[in-house]
Amino acid sequence: MPELPEVETVARDLQRWVAGATITDATVRWERTIRHPQPPERFAAEIAGATIRRVSRRAKTVLLHLDDGRVMTVALRMTGALLVTPADAAPDPYVRVVFELADGRQLRYRDVRKFGRIGLWPGGGLRSVGGGRGARSRKVAEAGRRYRIGEVFSGHGPEPLQRGFTAARLAERLRGRSAKLKSLLLDQSFIAGVGNIYADEALWRARLHPLRTADTLDARDVRRLHRAVRQVLREGIANRGASFSDYVGADGEPGENAERLAVYRRTDQPCYRCGRPIRRIVVGQRSTHYCPHCQPEPVASEPA
């Protein structure tokens, strides 16, 4: 499943290739791909004529900012991909939505397993999201009201690569939490964009066991974790993401980060730090990879 580095790679590719392009027409081949507005014919009618001003990312979602302020969101989920092709490129049975561009190219949304979702939203409110301190400010949208783009992400935690995401801010968010580190890193309301691959990689780099609970970390542990999360995400972006299953960049090429991972899917292979075998366990139904030597098991706490 594409995580922050993979989605960032897609967004950067698209920024180079489709910023300034005008969408003349859209064809929806799988109706459930369209999340908003409904019905999908309305989505197609509303996107026609729009010009893409720039492309960015929030959490694990690609944002196509349109000239008129509206934003198209593309959540790739498991197997979604956004591909730019010539109009005469070979037909592809897994393409769910086709956007015709005025210059003759196509922007194709391809999705084998069909979990991805595309929405078109009025702009506004995005900047403030995830910027709040302390308690989560999850706004509840009233029924029937049109969501603004910011509200689509109101349940998401801070962006780990933003300047405002400091070690102090992470410490503040960890304080008093009894959740296991692995589960917390996967929780999108705690921190946005981290998934199974980068959670395992960050914990290995920080030498923290995935089952440690947040409230057992001291200040040095938190600083190591903060640095590790940002490093693994930055390196993932530099290597254009990790491809397992169907992830590809907007050029259709797989990323190169999979070969560079330290623990993810390296069960029984030697740890790059100590040479001992990497172990796999299941935490919250997610497979979890770690080095039992470098990431010592948490000491059982005294019964209360």
- Which of 101, 89, 88, 125 shows the shortest CA–CA distance to 14? 101
Instruction: Give least dist CB 274 to Zn ion, A.
Output: 3
CB atoms within 10 A of CB 103: 11
Cβ–Cβ under 8 Å, residues 233 and 193: yes
139 is catalytic: no
Instruction: Give least dist CB 202 to Zn ion, A.
Output: 15
Cβ–Cβ under 8 Å, residues 207 and 224: yes
Stretch that binds Zn ion, among 37-45, 51-59, 228-236, 290-298 (CB under 5 A): 290-298
3 is catalytic: yes
Q: Which of 122, 224, 286, 298 is catalytic?
A: 286
Instruction: Give least dist CB 232 to Zn ion, A.
Output: 16
Cβ–Cβ under 8 Å, residues 102 and 22: yes
- Rounded-to-integer distance, Cα 26 and Cα 11, Å: 20
How many residues at the interface with Zn ion, by CB under 5 A?
6
Q: Does 274 sit near Zn ion (CB under 5 A)? A: yes
180 is catalytic: no
- Structure tokens of 104? 């003759």
- Rounded-to-integer distance, Cα 133 and Cα 103, Å: 45
Q: Does 222 sit near Zn ion (CB under 5 A)? A: no
Q: Does 291 sit near Zn ion (CB under 5 A)? A: yes
Instruction: Give least dist CB 207 to Zn ion, A.
Output: 9
Q: Which of 271, 288, 289, 290 binds Zn ion (CB under 5 A)?
A: 271
Which residues here bind Zn ion, judged by CB under 5 A?
271, 273-274, 291, 293-294
